[in-house]
Amino acid sequence: MRVRIRRVEASAERIVEDVVATEEPLEIRVASGGQTHPAAVTMRTPGNDFELAAGFLLSESVIRSREEIRAIRYCAEPQNYNVVTVHLEPGVLFDPAQLSRHVYTTSSCGICGKASLERVRAVCGMPVVQSDPLPATFFRSLPRLARAEQSVFARTGGLHATAIFDREGRLQLLREDVGRHNAMDKAIGRLLLDGRLPGSELVAWVSGRASFELVQKAVMAGIPVLASVGAPSSLAVDLAREMGLQLVGFVREDRCNIYTPDTRVERGV
């Protein structure tokens, strides 16, 4: 979105045109058993909305596989691109009470109210699939490779990103959003719809800090490694250790911090 602003600099100020990231609400609904239920409202950057809805429902344990999804559609009457309904296959039941305490999310903090490891344990279930060791040097190139694909961030400076890499360090996909949790949901939603989950041979990279919600989403997607540009939270570290996920923070081209037992990251150069 283009806006006119007053740019103040050391010696002068002027009126210029700036580009800011778009933020709009998206309501996610679930259709099951002949009824449609509201599941969540999230503030997001429009685009890849079907991926976002699918990834959100997977990370919240509403669905387990793409085979449980019959269709994903925008609201048709009236046409509304801020409302998405995920239609489940017959026999796939949805309990509205499952999300009744977590119905509103923001672009900054994700699902409000989910503040305990007990809740996350219940959602995550089993630990992620273990994988072979990765050299520490693997992580150093991720920010540069991801940055080259962050087209909207390059114009606005206002978006988070989640990138998915294979174990050879090749970028598989990247999604951007004003919400870091939305960017992750879009990425794992794409993997889900493409039939690429669980992602036991994949690595997730996030452009901001590593919150416990992002660890949860990686675990639900079966992705065993999560790397972040920023710091993890204490709950993120606790959950990663409990679930067997490799958590790496402060990833730079010359260093990184390993916050979980590094049995799956080789030491050395």
Active site residues: 109
How many CB atoms lie under 10 A from the CB of residue 37? Answer: 17
Residue identified by tokens 């400076």 is 157
Half-sphere exposure of 233 (CA within 13 A, CB side): 16
How many CB atoms lie under 10 A from the CB of residue 141? Answer: 13
Helix (H, G, I), strand (E, B) or coil at 99: coil
56/64 Cα distance (integer angstroms)? 11
205/185 Cα distance (integer angstroms)? 13
100/191 Cα distance (integer angstroms)? 27
